[in-house]
């Protein structure tokens, strides 16, 4: 929780500052005010649609309550943000779909540099510490260095890495890894993939092929397709999420680098506009800096 609070400090400070500015100039709840609310939310990376929606609901709510004092209006804003989460059960922690018995296969997708390899390493370490047998598959055979990087994380996390040749067929690596995982009775297989969004058709074909290969060994797998996004890129992350969602069945998000950014508001936008659950957040470069995401704590934390 401490790490979580620290990681979100920047987002919180910026959000609070903007809210304070909004209420410092508070005159009355007129149309100008609601437009300022919209602008404040957009500038906090809450996203355009989400900001409009919150402002619209706020208009009704303020009228309904006949709220005139700044404190009452601010409370209404907090409640709207929390409501947004609760509506779809978003206030609950979204656990990873870990199988109670047998192998769990999680596929990691996302563009280069977002923190895919790092997140895989961190998660592998957590599972290994819990006494699970973990395997990693280096299926990003496209980018020079990607395999080596995963091997380094494998050493750090003390788990085995199944790898092929650079430039080789990623599906072949995944097939080997599935075989190995079954033979060795592994509990978790984490698969690193290449994320080339510039060619969506290729990416789609590649991910489809990887999935088919996995399903040849286990028809129920993969149990998660986790899209990794870099929170510091704000609206860019949002665009990537939309594109990946069109390319493959994403089951959840890993939002990295929340420690270094004031753009944590992106979490709200992603939730409201894409209906994708954030399952994990990255809060630093260290092996222990990966935490389950708790939406309620997050929203409440914005106003602490
Ligand atoms: P990949 O290309 O998607 O596999 O990205 P990497 O895992 O290689 O990460 C890219 C850079 O982001 C590295 O320098 C990581 O240390 C850094 N990084 C990853 N996750 C986090 C995080 O949660 N917080 C911070 N501050 N840095 C991170």
Evaluate the omega torsion of the peptide bond into residue 222 and state whether it is cis, within 30 degrees of 0: yes
Nearest to 270 by CA among 44, 110, 47: 47
Residues 253/226, Cβ–Cβ less than 8 Å: yes
For the chain, percent of residues with pLDDT exceeding 70: 93
Q: What is the DSSP string of 169-198?
A: -HHHHHHHHHHHHHHTT-SEEEEEE---TT
- Crossing angle for the helix pair 9-24 and 295-302, to the nearest 10 degrees: 40
Which residues have a Cβ under 8 Å from the Cβ of 37 and sit 6 or more positions away?
A: 22, 51, 54, 55, 58, 77
CB-count exposure of residue 25 (10 Å: 0-12, 13-18, 19+): exposed
Q: Which residue has the higher pLDDT, 120 or 37?
A: 120
Q: For residue 303, what pLDDT is reported?
A: 64
Q: Is the pLDDT reported for residue 89 higher than 60?
A: no
Stretch 107-127: mean pLDDT, rounded?
A: 96
Which ligand 1 atom minimizes the distance to the CA of 120?
A: 7
Strands 278-282 and 290-292: antiparallel
Stretch 154-161: mean pLDDT, rounded?
A: 98
Q: Is 257 in the pocket of ligand 1 (CB under 6 A)?
A: yes
Can you read off the two tokens belonging to residue 255?
Answer: 């939002």
* Residue set of the binding site: 110-117, 192-196, 256-259
Q: For residue 286, what pLDDT is reported?
A: 94
Burial 140-158 (b: 16+ CB within 10 A, else e): bbbeeebbebbbebbeebe
Q: Which helix (H) or strand (E) holds 101?
A: none
Residues 79/177, Cβ–Cβ less than 8 Å: no
| C-alpha–C-alpha distance, residues 62 and 140, integer Å | 52
**Rg of the chain's alpha carbons, rounded to an integer?**
21
Nearest to 138 by CA among 147, 130, 129, 149: 147
Q: How many angstroms does the Cα of residue 282 sit away from the middle of ligand 1?
A: 9
Residues 232/260, Cβ–Cβ less than 8 Å: yes
Prediction pTM value: 0.86
Q: Is 284 in the pocket of ligand 1 (CB under 6 A)?
A: yes
Encode pLDDT of 185-221 as tens digits. 999 999 999 877 777 788 888 899 999 999 999 999 9
Q: Which residues pair with 108 in a beta bridge?
A: 192, 226
- Crossing angle for the helix pair 200-217 and 170-183, to the nearest 10 degrees: 20
Which ligand 1 atom minimizes the distance to the CA of 195?
A: 3
Distances (CA, A) of 11 to 42, 64, 150: 13, 31, 30
Q: Which of 256, 260, 288 to mutate to test the pocket of ligand 1 (most atoms within 8 A of CB)?
A: 256
Q: Is 206 in the pocket of ligand 1 (CB under 6 A)?
A: no
Q: For residue 85, what pLDDT is reported?
A: 64
Task: Give the torsion sign (CA, 111, 103, 130, 173).
Answer: negative
For the chain, percent of residues with pLDDT exceeding 90: 45
Residue with token string 């979204």: 94
Residue with token string 């089951």: 251
Q: How many angstroms does the Cα of residue 303 sit away from the middle of ligand 1?
A: 28
Stretch 54-59: mean pLDDT, rounded?
A: 87
Stretch 150-165: mean pLDDT, rounded?
A: 96
Q: How many angstroms does the Cα of residue 177 sit away from the middle of ligand 1?
A: 24
Q: Which helix (H) or strand (E) holds 253?
A: strand 252-256
Q: How many angstroms does the Cα of residue 31 sit away from the middle of ligand 1?
A: 43
Stretch 23-52: mean pLDDT, rounded?
A: 83
């Amino acid at each position: 929780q401490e790490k979580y609070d620290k990681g979100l400090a920047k987002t919180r400070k910026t959000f609070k500052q903007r809210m304070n500015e909004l209420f410092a100039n508070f005159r009355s709840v007129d149309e100008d005010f609601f437009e300022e609310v919209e602008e404040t939310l957009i500038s906090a990376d809450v996203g355009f649609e989400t900001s409009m929606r919150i402002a619209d609901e706020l208009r009704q709510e303020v009228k309904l309550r006949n709220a005139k004092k700044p404190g009452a209006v601010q409370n209404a804003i907090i409640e709207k943000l929390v409501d947004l989460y609760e509506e779809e059960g978003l206030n609950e922690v979204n656990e990873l779909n870990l199988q109670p018995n047998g192998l769990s296969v999680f596929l990691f997708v996302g563009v280069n540099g977002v923190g895919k390899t790092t997140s895989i390493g961190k998660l592998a370490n957590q599972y290994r510490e819990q006494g699970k047998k973990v395997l990693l598959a280096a299926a990003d055979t496209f980018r020079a260095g990607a395999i080596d990087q995963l091997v380094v994380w494998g050493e750090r996390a003390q788990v085995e890495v199944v790898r092929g040749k650079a430039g080789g067929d990623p599906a072949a690596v995944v097939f080997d890894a599935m075989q190995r995982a079954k033979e060795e009775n592994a509990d978790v297989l984490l698969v690193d993939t290449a994320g080339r969004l510039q060619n969506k058709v290729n990416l789609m074909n590649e991910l489809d092929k990887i999935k088919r290969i996995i399903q040849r060994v286990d028809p129920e797998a993969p149990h998660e397709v986790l899209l990794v996004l870099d929170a510091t890129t704000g609206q860019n992350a949002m665009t990537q999420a939309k594109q990946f969602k069109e390319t493959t069945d994403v089951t959840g998000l890993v939002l990295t680098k929340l420690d270094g950014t004031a753009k944590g508001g992106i979490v709200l936008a992603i939730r409201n506009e894409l209906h994708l659950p954030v399952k994990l957040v990255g809060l630093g470069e260290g092996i222990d800096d990966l935490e389950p995401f708790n939406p309620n704590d997050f929203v409440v934390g914005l106003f602490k």
